[in-house]
Structure 1
Amino acid sequence: MGEREFVVMMALFQALQALAIDAMLPALGIMSRDLGVADSNQRQLVVGVFLLCAGLGSLFPGAIADRYGRRPVLFTCLGGYIVFSLAAALMRDFTALLVMRGLAGFMSAGMLVMSTTIIRDRFQGDKMARTQSLVGMVFMIVPMIAPTLGQAVLLVADWRWIFGIMAGLGGMLAVWAALRLPETLHPEYRQTIAVRVIAANMRTALMTRAATGYVFGMALIQGALFGYINSSQQLVAEHFGAGESFPLIFGGMALMMALANLTNSRIVERFGARRVSHTALFGFMLLGAVQLWLALRGGETLWEFAPVMTLNLCLMGFIGANFGSIALQPFARIAGAAASLQTFLRLVIGSALGAFIGQLYDGSAVPLAAALMIAGILALLLVLFSERGRLFQRRHGVVPQV
């Protein structure tokens, strides 16, 4: 498989999870009314439960894939995603819908973990960061078009058809991958399925200092992102009055984030993942402070909020791919277990934090702005821990592999 086809396929495996989140955003209000949800903030659970269960589901696929291979785990999880998405379309009760969303999120975790693991199987170092940035660029096409897709469905059909589209796209990707994606697990790296071995691998992945700060730092940044996604429909469409223009604004922000990933793919091998991501992290903190000042000042408009938030999202594009590749770099023999644990920590912490931020929504951008700034500061402290107080240092040579 050539690089272009590989990048697009890995991006689409990750993007199915994003589709399940972003395509629902324009329908949250209608969905909550149809299912009799009284609390306006409760609608966010359609997104929050999916994300939380995706985080919980991330803990298991990697260790299994280190024994049996990437393909069996990938197709099992993809099949579950399709089945539970279709089941969600049939639910007539909000609680039952959340259960189906949780199960679909749980199964979607394997697609995210396996795509990351497969990339690590093929690449390492700044080359991996470059590839993940290209994957991220293609991946961001989905957040760009997903809200518009959801809005388009609402114009011609019931919101339940959004789940049907998710399942259909999953089915098409399954056929493509079955025909074209080879097994990437190196035979000599196969691990034993034993509680002792899995626990030891997980402990190694957790306790490796060079990775730990980046994993938890990215979880905080991701939590701020999820907080924005959870409250975006209320904040942008209702508070700032974007209305039906919300999908276009949301998609435009995602486009800028995709361009940031493209730029990162062009510069990361020249400057190094650490230099690029550390610089972006300082910018992220500064913009968080600007966003908080605008929100506290009072009278903030959409045209003040949107440009600063867009720049924050762009910096997340420089942070995410590089933090992820740095955190996974020390692990070759246990890449699946490491990817599972790291994805689990990022998604569980990020989704829980994002749900908390979303529930703090008070009709203003203040809770989100404060979360952006605080997440940036804490992430910096965690990176300093992993780097033993030294930032912007490019690592030359081969990093010791676990």
Structure 2
Amino acid sequence: MPGSVRTVTGTERVPEAGQPLPSARPAWLLTLVLASLAMLGPFTIDTIFPAYPEVGREYAVDTTAMQQVTSVYLLSFGVMSIFHGPLSDSLGRKPVMIGGLMGYVLASLLCLLAPTFEVLLAGRVAQGLFAGAATIVSRAVIRDLYSGAQAQRMMARVLMVFAVAPAVAPVVGGEILRFGPWQAIFVFVAGYAVLVAVLTALVLPETLPRSARQPLHLGSVVGGLWEVARSWRFERLALSTTFAFASYFIYVAGAPIIVVDLLGRGERDFWLLFVPMIAGMVAGSWLSTRLAGRVDPRRLVDGAMVGLLASAAVNVVLTATVPVLPWAVVGPTLLGVGIGIVFPLLQLAMLDLFPERRGAAASMASFASLLFNAALAGALVPLVDGSLLQVALASAALAVLGGALWLWHRRAK
């Protein structure tokens, strides 16, 4: 079929009539703004990491309690992620993203002024409720603007820039602590959100025309979510993405314990873990851009999943034999390469299943992953924080689950 596009789901799809044309803005500028929207999540999680000891001392709470600073954010992010996408299907992409960013600024100010640990956690919950508007809806914007190999390249380029955030954020947090108290970190993330909101308003086009919007009422929102959620094809892809990404994310969520307790490094040494990991993800994303349109997306995911499992095995062997730097970060770096290839493809695959409800698909694609990552940060990481080998074994088990679900998807009719 002329002009058709082979998707990772294995179906032939023709770009929909009436789609908005790509913006006249330079591709690099669109990439920068879309990546900046996506980076809000990692900045919110990782910038505070170097301040964990100081925050714990101020509020007199232990390491396990401090893990909740991450897990409650992820939990609220995950719960609210259900609604951001459907709202953008009804109201348009830009109003939801900009409104979410403004709400995030207010939530950050609550964290800044928190008199007790409980109020700090409430502020983190509020940050999670609003942050998803930027990160989730921006994925739908990419698919609104581009299709096929072009969409794969843009998603991978955004991931390349986005991937830098977990490496940069702890360094930024550490530098902020050199000149001010830990509360200044929330001044920084609030200012970042304001800047991104301005860029979104000035640079991004509205990619969902009024004629393509869904009615804004509860039945439409719930109906769209149910249409997505009841699809077995979608569920297999979503869970495969969730577990595969979790094999990598366990090192991000557990970074304060891994870097300080297990590797015996200082509060400003998070770069020793994050820089190699992010380099791996950037390398994988770069490979995805180079192979877009040249290799069948399904075969590319096949190869990346095999690589992910091999990386997890290497990680277990290295942590069992030489659990010290630099060997301790080789496995997570290799995992990053696999994730950099797989993540853009599976995200696009899920969006392509529901071209008229991309916002709802983006929300549901994030929902399972975010809730699981919240449980991972708050429950699983404390269970496996006794040694690097325990973390590596947990990572390997998650990679196996992700690979098995992808295999099931490939073989299903």
Fold shared per TM-score above 0.5: yes
CA contact (8 A) 2:259 2:269 kept: no
TM-score, normalised with respect to structure 2: 0.89
Query: What residue in structure 1 maps to residue 8 of structure 2?
Result: none
Q: Deviations over 1:134-173 (max 9, x none)?
A: 0001112222211111111111111110110001111111
Residues 150-159 or 208-217, more deviating = 208-217
Which of 309, 334, 349 is the equivalent residue of 2:372?
349
* DSSP-derived class of the 1:61 partner: helix
SS in 2 for 1:119: helix
CA RMSD of aligned residues (A): 1.8
Point out the more displaced range, 81-90 or 236-245.
236-245
Q: Deviations over 1:201-231 (max 9, x none)?
A: 2222123333321111111123333322222
Which of 284, 287, 290 aligns to 1:260? It is 284
Q: Which runs of 5+ in 2 are unaligned?
A: 1-24
Say yes or no: does 1:90 pair with 2:88: no
Hey, what does 1:139 align to over in structure 2? 162
| 1:335 equivalenced with 2:358 (yes/no) | yes
Say if 1:126 and 1:273, in contact at 8 Å, map to a contact too. Answer: no
Name the stretch that deviates more: 242-251 or 182-191. Answer: 242-251
**1:145-184 pair list within 5 angstroms:** 145-184=168-207
Preserved contact between residue 247 and residue 399 of structure 2 (Cα < 8 Å): no
Q: Is the 8 A contact 1:144 1:250 kept in 2?
A: yes
Q: What TM-score results when the alignment is normalised by the length of structure 1?
A: 0.91
Q: In the alignment, is the contact (CA less than 8 A) between 2:244 and 2:401 conserved in 1?
A: no
User: Partners of 1:55 and 1:153 in 2: how far apart?
Assistant: 28
Structure 2 letter corresponding to 1:47: T
Does the CA-based 8 Å contact 1:70-1:184 persist in structure 2? Answer: yes
Equivalent position of 1:370 in the other structure:
393
Matches within 5 A, 1:305-316: 305-316=328-339
Query: Structure 1 runs of 4+ off > 6 angstroms?
Result: none
Q: What's 2:80 paired with?
A: 57
Aligned identity (percent) is 28
Matches within 5 A, 1:283-298: 283-297=307-321
1:107-136 deviations in whole A, cap 9, x for unaligned?
001111210111111122332222110000
Q: What is the 5 A alignment of 1:1-400?
A: 1-37=25-61, 39-243=62-266, 244-297=268-321, 300-388=323-411
Segment of structure 1 superposing worse, 353-362 or 46-55: 353-362
Judged with a 3 Å threshold, the aligned counterparts in structure 2 of structure 1 residues 385 and 207 are, in CA distance, closer, same or farther, namely farther
What is the identity, as a one-letter code, of the residue corresponding to 1:294? Answer: L
By how many angstroms is 1:337 displaced? 1.2
Structure 1 unaligned spans of 5+: 391-402
- Counterpart code for 2:303: T
Deviations 1:33-84, CA, capped at 9 Å, x for gaps: 11110x3222111111111111111000111111111111111100011111
Deviations 1:219-265 (A, max 9, x none): 11233333222221221233212324333442342133223212211
The residue type equivalent to 1:188 in the other structure is S
Give the aligned length.
Answer: 388
Q: 1:86 is matched by which residue type in structure 2?
A: L
How big is the shift at 1:32? 1.0
